[in-house]
Every structure is written in structure tokens, then in C-alpha cells.
Structure 1
Amino acid sequence: MTTQLDHLPIAVIGAGPVGLSAAAHLAERGLPFVVLEAGAKPAAAVREWGHVRLFSPWRYNIDAAAAKLLADAGWARPDDEELPTGAQLADDYLQPLADLPALRPHIRYNARVAAVTRAGLDRLRTAGRADTPFLIRLATGEDILARAVIDASGTWHTPNVLGAAGIPAHGEDSAEAYVSNALPDVLGRDRDRFAGRRVLVVGAGHSAANTLLSLAKLPGTTVTWAIRSSSPGRTYGGETADALPARGALGGRLREHVESGAITLLTGFGIQRLAIVEDGVEVSDGTRTVVVDRIVSATGFRPDHAIVSELRLDLDPIMGSTRALAPLIDPNEHSCGTVPPHGVDELTQPEPGYYAIGVKSYGRAPTFLLATGYEQARSVVAALAGDWVAARDVQLDLPETGVCNSDPVLATDGGGCCGTPAATAEPVAVGLATGISGGLLRSPLTVIDVPAGSGEQAGGCCG
């Protein structure tokens, strides 16, 4: 059955791993589409943490539909068992995918989305809404009409604040010059910011672990780690019991550094105040105080729904995801390994034809898998094609030790992409479940807290 909207393209926001997965599935089904990417290249946000090595091998980081399109074009697939860096993920997989004749003409770069609404209708108007095209306004002022919108814009550029109460700590804004966001290139381009300095890392996710281990390699650098929870057990994870050995090694090495005194751990440290003092920045939880030269904020990310404020969204008041998805991913109830399969039905909003997929779909849930995003893309595209049997045949099996930790997250400090610098002698890979992971959904998957994807329209770590 055709409608008056069928001649319009489906708009995909973001050319990160999950956005390009959606594009590959749209191309495979012959549906018209346009991809709107804020960056100058695909996977712009992934490239920002390109120095980090994933802890999942290539076979988990490639979407099945994308792999088929690439294989048909003669693509030389990387060794399935190798651990790629973020830069390799972008250059060796996502760039060739975006350059395929089936995708390239439909991708627009430097196309930042400013707002999404319905043509001629604000949020209050109901009559004829489902039959009215989406109007997507770019930052340049250009308007684009679409029959549906797949929002894979990620969360990379909307990190959580340092303040323990979810709002900036007192003085946080004035201390901005002292703060670096998650996954700085400590051993590379950002080395001069950290070498020989007193550095505080805030957060309990894999991105914090990655940064801490890198900082510990810098001579003369004093490293302090602050977490809100009473124990670092969630960050240490399963160690030798982990289904992905590289990820387990990450937690084990961090624990050894803490126990040896190379890294000073502050537990139960919820930041209340920052103040610029004569010899640095003073950070306080109301009782204890530490004075440092630099702060790395690895506190996780949150979605920004401002661009779709004129659409009808029904967001869970806790997670910020759809209400149907929220109980499935709530870290107070689940480790990531217990998240059940979910697809278009759990991602549906009151606004017909709008779907947020990828890390943005998870709201504030701290850990997201790229493989989950790939399956979301497949399910949503199948539904848009009218193939509801395929759309609802969602298959996703996340191993208990293959994603978060084995225990539910009761006190979170946020997450981030996981891994170690590419230059380490014994690479501990980042979990790319923001892309973190792909077509083989019944195998151990990757983790990506961020990230693909992620930054708004930049394809973030998990985008």
C-alpha cells in the first residue's frame, strides 16, 4: 500500500556506525534515504577517540548488511580476530562503507540538524499528523522533507557534568579550562596537558579505566581516581572470568595499579564544589578536598532531545529512553548481559515515523552495545519497509560477562568507550558496542559506553 509520503526519503541523522548501518539496510531494501552528518567525514566522533583500541575483535564490529554491500564491491575485510583502534574502525570499515555507490550519493556532510518537526504543524496539532512530512531544518537554514526520521545522532557531544547531583557542581563552569572530556589522547597529542601534573579522573566506566592506565605511564604524573560508589568492583569487572580477555585484563590491570598505590582511589566521592586556587583547582565532596592541575571527566553521556522538541515523545522519566525500553535497560535492575532482545516495538514513540536508535535510544543507561544498535537499525528499517515479520524477529543474545559487569549498576559514575591506547605493548581493546558490535549477534559483543556513537550527528562511539 503506497501513501503520499512514499516519494520522500527516510532521513538518517548521523553517519556513525549505527547511522551507516541504517543506511546499509535502507539501501539493501531499495528505500530512498538521505544521511545528514554534521562532520566532514563519516564517524567524526569515532575519530575523536581514534587512538583507543577496542577490546572486541573485528568480527563483532561489522554490521551484516554493511558487510554484504562491501563484499559485493570487493572490500578486503580485516582479520576477524584482530582488535581495531577507533581510527581503524573509521578508516578501514566506515569510510569504505560510506564511499560505496549505494550510499555515497545519499550522504550529506557538514549538514548539522538544528530542528525536526512536521511541515506546517507544531506539537499541538493532531489532525493529519501521520500523513504530514517531517521537516528537518539544517543549521544553514535549509529545510528537508522526509517520510520518516531515524535519529542516530549519538551522545558524544553531550557528556554528563561532574556534579554529583546531575547538575554542575558549584564552580564547575568557572573551572572549565582545567577539565578534559572522556578519552583524551594522554600518550599522544594531549601528552603535554598531563605529563608531570596532578590529574584527577572522575568516573567508573571503561573510559575512566583506559585514561587512568595511560596516565600511570607518564613519569612524574600523580594520578587520583574519584568515584561516587563505595567500591570500584563495577570498573574492575570480571577480570579473568570475562568472555572477552582484553576487557577483563583492563579491569585487572587497573586493580593492580590501585593496590600498588600507583593510582590513589577516592570512593564515595560525589563532587559538590570546584574552586580555582593559587596552585590549581580544588575539588571537594563537601568533606574531603583534593587539589589538582587537570581533571578528566569520564562521567558518561546523556541524550539531547532539543532538536526534536516539537515532536511528540513519551520518554521514561528515569532513563530518558522510550517507556517500553526503559525497564529492559535500567542499570538498577540489569547488567547489560541480561538486556532482552528489542527492536522497533520498543523504540516506537507517539510521533509516527520517528525513531531514535543507537546510544541515543538508551537515554542515560550507562552502557550500550554497537551490536544492539545494528539490530535496532535492521528492525526499524524492516518496519519502515512494511516487513513486520522481519521487524519483529529480533535476535540479540548478550553474554552475561560480555558487556557491563556481572552485577547490576547500583551507583553509576558514567561510562565511556572502553580500551587502551593503541601504542600499549599488550593492547586492551575498547568495547565497541557503539559499534560497538555487529552482525554476529549470537556471539560475545562489544561495549561502548559513550561513544559510536557518539556525538550529535557525528556518529559518536555508539552513534
Structure 2
Amino acid sequence: MTMTLTVPPRATEDRLTGLPVAIIGAGPIGLAAAAQLLERGIKVVVYEAGDHAGAAVTQWGHTRLFTPWEHLIDPAARRLLDAGGWVSPVSDELPLGSQLVRDYLAPLAATTELAPRIRYRSRVTAVSREGMDRTRSTGRASTPFLLRIQSTGETIDVLARAVIDTSGTYSTPNSLASSGLDPLGSSGGGAFVSHALPDVLGAERARFAGRRVLVVGAGHSAANTLLKLAELATEEPGTDITWAIRGADPVRVYGSDGDELEERGKLGGRVHELVRSGAVTLLDRFEIERLDESEGACAVTARRGAAPASVTVDVVVNATGFRPDLDMLREVRVSLDEIVEAPRALAPLIDPNLHSCGTVEPHGVAELAHPESNFFIAGMKSYGRAPTFLLLTGYEQVRSIADELAGNHAAARQVQLVLPQTGVCSTDLGSGGAGCCAVEPATSETMWEANSSAETTGADPKSSGCCA
């Protein structure tokens, strides 16, 4: 593996001159950030770990969003697309994740303005300052950022004047164990674990048909999978469904009748009926400790209150949510809330014990700023482990950041955003299928789930949340 520096050190007094803003992730928020910056005449480069825009969204492309098209398109991105003759999807339709990629993200990434600026198969593994670790302060703000990137078999270092991390959380799921650590047990136990939102009725049908399935998580990604499994069970005899939650009551899933996103509002009632009818067996207060291979199946050991508990299944669906990858940021100065791992000023506004998608206050660069000058985390990753994210929120975040980087500091702090009111935030499945708030499951951006401090409310601390 070779290492090269693609931009040589600068000898000029202003070392930032001519350098681009680096955006990590070519998902909905990353591409929106690029469109906003280009509209202000700012040079950008987008680094995407996948081989196409919205690669993370594609992984759950079979899932239907519960947000209509009118709330899924960033204004600057729309202006860029419209200039090229793009035909917008019908505003009130609810797209699948695959349609979001096909009809919006792919055309946006292919525009003449954006296409030359996106680097695919380029995974950012670390962010620092050129020649400076996080302990050095003199001249720090005027020193270029250095991003280390794994790209097509080599490792390269590139420089940037500013960094916007929109890499999401989909590639870093929470643990199945209630401790937050990996479950104890044999190494073979992990072979039985499925990612969140598996394609139960499509590409992964054979893995679930006629099998004993345990779905773990008290959020709407879990609920989406339960509904799909229930449909599969009517077609495939022997499909047995168990649902395990850490809390005492799945109130976050059962939800609210007052949800302004109609399809999301239907989700809770349908899951509740599955439990009442016996189609799904609910295990509450189920805190997983071990996974072991046992005679070709997975023995799941837990505690249920003070008593030991166990269940043997063929597949375990990890719908416990996601967390941000912070290892890549060890050499930059970030200030994160100690509970939800969101930017410290943002955390109180998104506390899942107090807020849903519709009650999060509008926010922008003031709440997203870190001690590291011109470094920002936006999109789903900015919410850390909180589950209340909507794409509309992320679009406003990057609009504010773009104004800040363009020097329009007043506009950056004039944040206005109206969100749908809701008592629940997460993926939903209505008459057309499952859905997600507005996406960002993750390398790029994306869905998610996770709640960190729900003990006092009875909610599952790892319940799923909205999309990114």
C-alpha cells in the first residue's frame, strides 16, 4: 500500500488559499452541502466511500420513506437540477430508498457542476491538521485540514480549507448487548446476526422464510421489519417472530394518532395488532448478554428483570440503532455531549427524552460549531445517538454552514424551518410499505436509531429513530 500527498505543503503566508471545502459522504446531506457551497462560489470536493451517490441509502433501498418528495429535496440541489432540465417527482408521493437514489441523488451527482467534484471509493479514515495533532494550537486556524483517505488500494492525504462531515451512522450500528459492548459468547454467534432493515420479502427472503427470527430494538426500523416478517409468515409456514425490547413498554413504536406524516402514524397500530393477535411474541425488559452457536442455531442469553432468560433462534435482526464513528476525528478538536455524542450546543435541542422530529428547534452553524475552526458535523451524524433526525433539518444545517463559510455570518444565524408535528420519529410502514423519516442511514448519510438515556421514560435506550 502506497501513501502520497496529493497537495504539497504551501509556502505562502495564507496556506488556505485555493483549497476546497472537503465534504465527507455523498448522501442527501453531503450533496446538499456541495450544492449550497457551489451556489456561493466556493470550491468543494466530496469523498464517498461507496461506488455511487447514496450508496448507504441503496442498502435499505427496499424501504419506503414516510416523508413525501416535497420534503426530501434540498432547495439549492433543486435549483442545480432544474437548470439541467430535471423532471421533479410527484411532490406528495412516498418514494422507496431506491427511488430516492435513482430519481434524485443520482441525477444530482451527475450534474455538470457536481460530477467532477465527487471522488467515489474514497473512504476518509482520519481528519487532522497538516503537521499538527490536536494538542498544537499556534496558528491552528490558518493551517489546512489534512484528510487521510483509503482509495482503490492506496492511502492518500489531501488538504482542505474546511471540513463538513456528513458521513452518517449506518456503518456503525449499536451493539445488541444492553451494556453497549459486544455480546459475550462464541465467535460463531455473530454469523446469525442480520443488519437493520433486511430485505425480508426480497433479496434476503431465503434467510428468513420458515425460520425463527428475533428482532431486537424498540424503534421503527424494528417495527418495519416486524411487519415485513408478519407478511412473510402468511406465505411461509414455520416463520416464527419474536420481538425483544429493553424497556417495559414499546410506546415509541405504538406512537401517536396525531402524526402529521400519515403513513408514519399508521405504523404503531399495525405493530400493536400483531402483538395482540399473537403473530409476534413480545419480550419486554430483555437485556441481551450473550450470543452462542448451539446446534446450528443462535442461543441468545439475557436478563429479564432480575431473572435469567434465553431464546434460541435462527436469525437475530439488530435494529438497536446506530452511533457515530468518532475514531476518525481523534486528531481534531470536537466538543460533544457526553450522553448522545452530538455537538454540545445541539444536544439539549434533540434530547430524545424531550423532543421528537417535530419539536426540535431550528438550528444551524451556531449549534454545530466545534472548538476546531471551520470543522462541522452535519446530517444524521450530528445527532449522535439521538433518533430524531429529518432530512429537512440536515438541509437547513448545511445551508447555514455554507453561509458561514461564505462569510455571510448574519444569514448563517437566521435559521427558519417548519417541521411536521409528531409524537414519534422513525421509519414507517403505511399502505405502501415501510418508510424512513428522511434519510441518512450512513457512509454518506442515513437512517437511524438509538436513544441513549431513556431509562426514566421507559423507552428503549437503543430505540430506533428517524432517517438521515
TM-score normalized by the length of structure 1: 0.88
Structure 1 position 41 matched with structure 2 position 37? no
For the residue of structure 1 that corresponds to 2:136, the secondary structure is: coil
Following the alignment from structure 2 to structure 1, what is the Cα–Cα distance between the partners of residues 110 and 329? 29
The partner residue of 2:171 within 153, 157, 177 is: 157
**1:450 CA drift (Å):** 5.0
The partner residue of 1:418 within 415, 420, 427 is: 427
Structure 1 position 230 matched with structure 2 position 248? yes
Following the alignment from structure 1 to structure 2, what is the Cα–Cα distance between the partners of residues 69 and 172? 52
For the residue of structure 1 that corresponds to 2:288, the secondary structure is: coil
For the residue of structure 2 that corresponds to 1:217, the secondary structure is: helix
RMSD: 1.9
**1:279 CA drift (Å):** 5.2
147-156 or 392-401, which deviates more: 392-401
Kept after mapping to 2: 8 A contact 1:162/1:172 = no
For the residue of structure 2 that corresponds to 1:124, the secondary structure is: coil
Following the alignment from structure 1 to structure 2, what is the Cα–Cα distance between the partners of residues 402 and 178? 34
Q: Deviations over 1:367-403 (max 9, x none)?
A: 3111111111101111000011211111123333175
Question: CA 1:172/1:216 → structure 2, altered by over 3 Å: closer, same or farther?
Answer: farther
Question: CA 1:103/1:403 → structure 2, altered by over 3 Å: closer, same or farther?
Answer: farther
**1:3 CA drift (Å):** 5.3
266-275 or 201-210, which deviates more: 266-275
Amino acid at match of 2:58: R
Q: Give the match for residue 390 of structure 2.
A: 369
Following the alignment from structure 2 to structure 1, what is the Cα–Cα distance between the partners of residues 49 and 182? 27
Q: Give the match for residue 432 of structure 1.
A: 437
For the residue of structure 2 that corresponds to 1:30, the secondary structure is: coil
Unaligned runs of 5+ in 1: 405-416, 437-446, 452-460
Q: Give the match for residue 33 of structure 2.
A: 22
Following the alignment from structure 2 to structure 1, what is the Cα–Cα distance between the partners of residues 447 and 156? 33
Q: Deviations over 1:22-81 (max 9, x none)?
A: 011011111001000111100000000001111111111111111111111110000001
Following the alignment from structure 1 to structure 2, what is the Cα–Cα distance between the partners of residues 174 and 375? 44
**1:435 CA drift (Å):** 5.5
Following the alignment from structure 1 to structure 2, what is the Cα–Cα distance between the partners of residues 435 and 156? 8
Structure 1 position 355 matched with structure 2 position 369? no
The count of corresponding residues between Structure 1 and Structure 2 is: 426
Following the alignment from structure 2 to structure 1, what is the Cα–Cα distance between the partners of residues 186 and 220? 23
More strand by share: 2
For the residue of structure 2 that corresponds to 1:379, the secondary structure is: helix
Q: Give the match for residue 137 of structure 2.
A: 126
Following the alignment from structure 1 to structure 2, what is the Cα–Cα distance between the partners of residues 3 and 66? 31
Kept after mapping to 2: 8 A contact 1:116/1:134 = yes
Structure 1 position 203 matched with structure 2 position 208? no
For the residue of structure 2 that corresponds to 1:316, the secondary structure is: coil
Unaligned runs of 5+ in 2: 1-12, 451-465
For the residue of structure 2 that corresponds to 1:290, the secondary structure is: strand
For the residue of structure 1 that corresponds to 2:361, the secondary structure is: coil
Following the alignment from structure 2 to structure 1, what is the Cα–Cα distance between the partners of residues 378 and 26? 12
Amino acid at match of 2:94: L
Following the alignment from structure 1 to structure 2, what is the Cα–Cα distance between the partners of residues 172 and 186? 26
Kept after mapping to 1: 8 A contact 2:253/2:424 = no
Structure 1 position 321 matched with structure 2 position 342? yes
Kept after mapping to 1: 8 A contact 2:175/2:320 = yes
For the residue of structure 2 that corresponds to 1:288, the secondary structure is: strand
Structure 1 position 386 matched with structure 2 position 397? no
Structure-to-structure mapping, 1:402-413, within 5 angstroms: 403-404=424-425
Question: CA 1:164/1:450 → structure 2, altered by over 3 Å: closer, same or farther?
Answer: closer
For the residue of structure 2 that corresponds to 1:40, the secondary structure is: coil
Q: Give the match for residue 458 of structure 1.
A: none
Q: Give the match for residue 275 of structure 2.
A: 258
Structure 1 position 333 matched with structure 2 position 354? yes
Q: List 4+ stretches of structure 1 deviating above 4 A.
A: none
Q: Give the match for residue 298 of structure 2.
A: 281
Amino acid at match of 2:213: V
**1:431 CA drift (Å):** 2.5
Kept after mapping to 2: 8 A contact 1:258/1:265 = yes
Q: Give the match for residue 199 of structure 2.
A: 185
Kept after mapping to 1: 8 A contact 2:130/2:146 = yes
Question: CA 1:210/1:151 → structure 2, altered by over 3 Å: closer, same or farther?
Answer: same
Determine which structure has greater relative contact order: mean sequence separation of CA pairs < 8 Å that are 6+ residues apart, divided by chain length: 1
